[in-house]
Amino acid sequence: MSWYSKNLGDAMFADAELNKIKQNNVVKTPLFVRYVAQYGLHCEVIVYFPPEAKSVAKQCLATPCLMPDERDLTTL
């Protein structure tokens, strides 16, 4: 069973998409977020979907990925 991820781009513009993902999470499985600073200029938001949230990941057009390192994640 694989994890899924979706890069939402710049954190300054990701709130609407994050809210949409929260609303689509009908399975109520915790989803996770990582904020990645690129070159110190801006921060990108990546949402991670565990295997149990596969249906939500597919609705959001997330792509399969490896299980993320939990140390850098926050719950959505």
4-38 confidence digits (pLDDT tens): 999 998 888 899 999 999 888 887 889 999 998 87
**Domain containing residue 42:** 3-75
Question: Tokens 């954190």 correspond to what residue?
Answer: 11
pTM for the complete prediction? 0.89
pLDDT at 41 over 80: no
The CA distance from 16 to 26, in Å, is 18
The b/e string for 40-61 (b: 16+ C-beta within 10 A; e otherwise) is: eeeeebbbbbbeebbebbeebe
What DSSP state is assigned to residue 57? H
Pairing type for strands 42-49 and 3-10 reads antiparallel
Tell me the two tokens of residue 27: 């399975």
